[in-house]
Every structure is written in structure tokens, then in C-alpha cells.
Structure 1
Amino acid sequence: MKAELKKRLPAETYAKYERMEACHANGMENLPLFMGAVILGNMAGLPQGELASFSASFLAVRVAYTAAYITTSTQAPTLVRSGLWIASVSMCFRTIIRAAGAMATEV
């Protein structure tokens, strides 16, 4: 199917299709980390407002990441995309670490 698409679509459109597909795959790869952070935060009893803020912020960063991924066709702006990815992953690890700390104090 991809070979057929590549033949039929202009090169720029096909490149955008490939970026969209890669962005989707990256989102699916990061979903377990986000879900784990939310679940662990709930298990640890982190404040609901904090978890809601984390979730909203994470999703906002991922929307910006998606926009940056799809619209970037040259190498230089990929630093912005990488920075957004690092920010989203860091947010998840921060929440997981806070949950671990909260669970450790309960013992």
C-alpha cells in the first residue's frame, strides 16, 4: 500500500503522510508511560488537582509536539520537537517519582 501511495502522491504529501504515521507511532509508544504515571499517582494518593494539571499539561505538550512533528520538513526545527518530547517524558517521570515518594512515606 505504501509503495502505491508513494507513486500516486506528490513527494511533499507523501513525506507529510510518513511524518504523521511516525508521530502516531511515537504517541502510542509514550501512552504506557503516561498511563503508568496517572495510575501510580492515583495509587499513591497524589492530589487530584495535581494529577489533573499534569494530565492537561502533558496533553497540551503532546498536541504541540504533534503540530511540530507534522509541520516540520527540515532538520533545524526538529530541536523544538525533541524538546517537546523531552518535556512530556520528563513530566511523566516527575509524576512517577512523586508517587513513589508518597508511597514510600506511607510505609
Structure 2
Amino acid sequence: MNFRSMDEFWGFYMSQHSKPWTRRWHFVGTLLSLVTLLYALCFNWWVLSLVPVIGYGFAWYSHFFVERNVPATFGHPVWSLLCDYKMFGLMLTGGMDKEIKRLGKRPVLQTY
């Protein structure tokens, strides 16, 4: 599916993260991957290879076993990464519930 804007993709992305535990697993993966990135940059460059393994590992687990769908990153890797950081920021600042309510009031594109 082609998306015309980041906002349009965001609605789809959030529809693929509808369960709270999916979002929580993403949060943990993003947090640990950022900590690993910081460690790699400061102490050991070899650890850098673990950053995507950690981040995607937690996220993909949540898609396969919690949400039971295919990760959006398979079809839209860049937009998915940007949306993951947006979701992380909203969760970190407590704005995720408000965003879920906002998105619930508009149609979400479906993929078949």
C-alpha cells in the first residue's frame, strides 16, 4: 500500500499497534536499543551490531505473538522506524492515550 504522507502512515502504523502490550514491547525494545547505541558509541563499537537486533527483536516478538500481524517495517522500513520513535516519545511523555483517542475518531486505512 502506498501512503501519501507521514500522517497517513501514522494512522496505519497505529492500527498495527492496537494492543497495549504491543506498544509496551516496542517501548522496551526502543529503550534498550538506545541504551545499547549509547554504550556502543562510548565504549565498544562492536556492540553497535546489537542495536537493531535488540530493537527489532522486541518489536517483532510483539507483532508475531501479541498483535498477531506482520510488522509494518517489512513494507515501510523508514516510516516505521520514524513512527516507532514517535510512539516511544508519546509513551515517554504520557501522550499515547490521548493520541489513541484522537486516532479512534478517524478512519484507518486497511490493507488486504
TM-score band w.r.t. shorter chain: 0.3 to 0.5
TM-score by length of structure 1 reads 0.36
TM-score by length of structure 2 reads 0.35
Structure ranking higher in helix proportion: 1
> Which gives a bigger RCO, structure 1 or 2 (Cα 8 Å, sep 6+)?
1
